[in-house]
Structures are given as structure tokens and as C-alpha cells.
Structure 1
Amino acid sequence: MDKFYVQSGSFRCVVQADDSRKAALWAVHQVMGQILPIDGDEPTASESADGNEASKPVAVLGGRVKVSRRGYDRDDAGEMPTMDVVADWNQMVTTLDRLQRMMYRAA
């Protein structure tokens, strides 16, 4: 797996992934996990461990996701519309939820 520098809006992270699209999907997953209960194991960014609002700011995505193997703010970074990546992420999460419900019904 390669290392990718992913940035969009106020969000930046370094991700190991098979390709730039998967790196962008993981970044969107991280940002969406701040506001949506994805796995239920960790508090969201708006909650601290004791249930009170945290002072940590929530990362916000911009209109495009930039992905580079060489670092942040690179002119040669690949770019993709954030909404395209969010749509792919939504389809992935919906499919996983559907599979999970099918497994519970079969058990």
C-alpha cells in the first residue's frame, strides 16, 4: 500500500491505501464519522467521553478532495469533487448496512 496525503477544507490526513480514490474514501469516512454514528464505539466530535460537548473543532470538507503521494498543498496533487467521493462513501456504507441486516436475519 502507498502513503497518500489527503486534504479538503480544514481536513488533512496521511492515509495508507491501494490508490488515491480509496485514500479519499477513507478521509471522507473519517470526517463523516465525526457527525454520524457509524460504528457506535466512539463518541462523535460533538461529545467528549463524559457526554459533554468537546472543544475540539469539527473538520469540514471543501468542494474538492486533493490527494498526493508527495505531500500537502502540491500543485501536482490529484483532485476529485468531494460530492463524488461522498456519494461513493454513502453507497459503501449503505451496502455494508444492508449486509449486516441480512446477516442478523440469517442468524
Structure 2
Amino acid sequence: MTKYYVQSGTLRTIVQAQSPRKAALWAVHQAMQQVLPIDDDTHLAPTRKSEDVASRGVAVLSAKVMVSERGYDRTDASTVPTLEAVSEWNQMVSILDRLERMLHHAE
């Protein structure tokens, strides 16, 4: 897997992925977990979760996600419209949710 520098708005992260598009999806996943936790820490109280987010700062995405193998703020970075990446992420999460429900129903 390749290392990618991904940025959008205030989000800057380095991820390993198979392609720039998959790196953009992973970055969107990281941002979306702030408001829609997928792997919820059930042992933490809601006030503690709020404090944790406040201490880390909130990542806000811009209109596009920029992905580069060479670093941040590159003019040659690949770009993915954020709305497109969020839509694809939403489809992926919906499918995973359906699969999880199917597995629990089969037990």
C-alpha cells in the first residue's frame, strides 16, 4: 500500500491505501466519526466524549479532498469532490450496517 497525504479544510492526515480515492474515503471516514461514531466507545459517558472531541479539535472538510504521495499543499495533488467522497462513504457504511444486521439475525 502507498502512503498518501490527505487534506481537506482543517483535516490533514497521512494514510496508507491502495489508491488516492481510497485514501480520500478513509479521510472522510475519520472526519465523519466525529459526528457519527461507527466504533462507539460505549464505556465513555457522553460528557467525556464531548470533552475528548473538544480537546482534539474538530476537523471541518472543504469542498474537495486533496490527495498526494508527496506531501501537503501540492499543486499536483489528486482531488476528489468532498460530496462525492461522503456519498460513497455513506453507501459503504450502509452496506456494512446491513451485513452486520444480517449476521446478528442469523445467530
Is TM (by shorter chain) over 0.5? yes
- Which residue identity is paired with 1:66? M
User: What's the offset of the Cα at 1:56?
Assistant: 3.0
> Per residue, is there more helix in 1 or in 2?
2
Structure 2 residue matching 1:55: 3-state secondary structure: helix
Note the 1:54-65 alignment, pairs <5 A.
54-65=54-65
Higher RCO (CA-CA < 8 Å; seq separation 6+): 2
Change (3 A) 1:85 1:43: farther
In the other structure, the counterpart of 1:81 is 81
Residue type of the alignment partner of 1:20 = P
For structure 1, list consecutive stretches of 5 or more residues without a partner in the other structure. Answer: none
Please, what TM-score do these two structures have when normalized by structure 2? 0.89
Give the match for residue 21 of structure 2. Answer: 21
Describe the SS at the equivalent of 1:27.
Answer: helix
Pairwise mapping of residues 1-107 of structure 1 onto structure 2 (< 5 A)? 1-41=1-41, 50-51=48-49, 53=51, 54-107=54-107
Structure 1 CA distance, aligned partners of 2:50 and 2:78? 39
Q: RMSD of the TM alignment (CA)? A: 2.0
How far did 1:41 drift?
A: 2.6
Structure 2 unaligned runs (5+)?
Answer: none
Amino-acid identity (%):
58
Distance 1:10 1:16 in 2: 20
What is the number of equivalent residue pairs in this alignment? 104
| TM-score, normalised with respect to structure 1 | 0.89
